[in-house]
Amino acid sequence: MPSDEALYEALSGGDLKAFDALYARYERHLFGFTRKHLMDAHAAEDVLHETFMVVIRDRAGGHAAQSFRAWLFQVARHL
């Protein structure tokens, strides 16, 4: 199983299947994180989707070079 960082690097190279793998890997955890903080399932779902939109938009920026998970949750926290 490829690491998060390897998948993010593949995504940065245009591999959209890597995005699917990252989404599948983090969807439940990130939704639970956002729901816990927002206490609203609809708002949590919006933040979940917006977080992954940031992943798509910033994929060439290399922001997650050290820890994709930490960066992903930081993005969600800021949103």
Give the total number of structural domains in the chain.
1
Rounded Cα distance, 76 and 13, in Å: 23
pLDDT tens digits, residue range 12-39? 999 999 999 999 999 999 999 999 999 9
Q: What is the pLDDT of residue 66?
A: 73
pLDDT tens digits, residue range 39-74? 999 999 999 999 999 999 987 766 655 789 999 999
**b vs e for 52-72, b when ≥16 Cβ sit within 10 Å of the residue's Cβ?**
bebbeeebeeebbeeebeebb
pTM strictly above 0.95: no
Q: What is the pLDDT of residue 64?
A: 56
Domain of 34: which CATH number? 1.10.1740.10
58 lies in which domain range?
Answer: 4-78
Rounded Cα distance, 77 and 71, in Å: 10
